[in-house]
Amino acid sequence: MATACSPEALQTLGYGIADRKLVAFREDINAWRQVAIGTDFD
């Protein structure tokens, strides 16, 4: 049987998950930026 969670608890959990995913995404973008800056295709 599932237990009920308050909307506030779910909101806090959801924002926490989104924040962690955004941090990881920013790290990936920054890493790719460094690769692009360091790579000369000319």
Which of the four pLDDT bands, split at 50, 70 and 90, describes residue 2? low
32 or 1, greater pLDDT: 32
State residue 40's pLDDT score: 72
Cβ within 8 Å of residue 13, ≥6 positions away = 5
pLDDT, tens digit, 9 for 90 and up, residues 5-39: 788 988 999 999 999 999 999 999 999 999 988 88
Q: What is the model's pLDDT at position 41?
A: 67
Measure the CA–CA gap between 35 and 11, rounded to whole angstroms.
36
Q: How much is the pTM?
A: 0.65
Dihedrals phi, psi of 26, to nearest 5 degrees: -60, -40
Is the dihedral angle over the CA atoms 15, 16, 19, 24 positive or is it negative?
negative
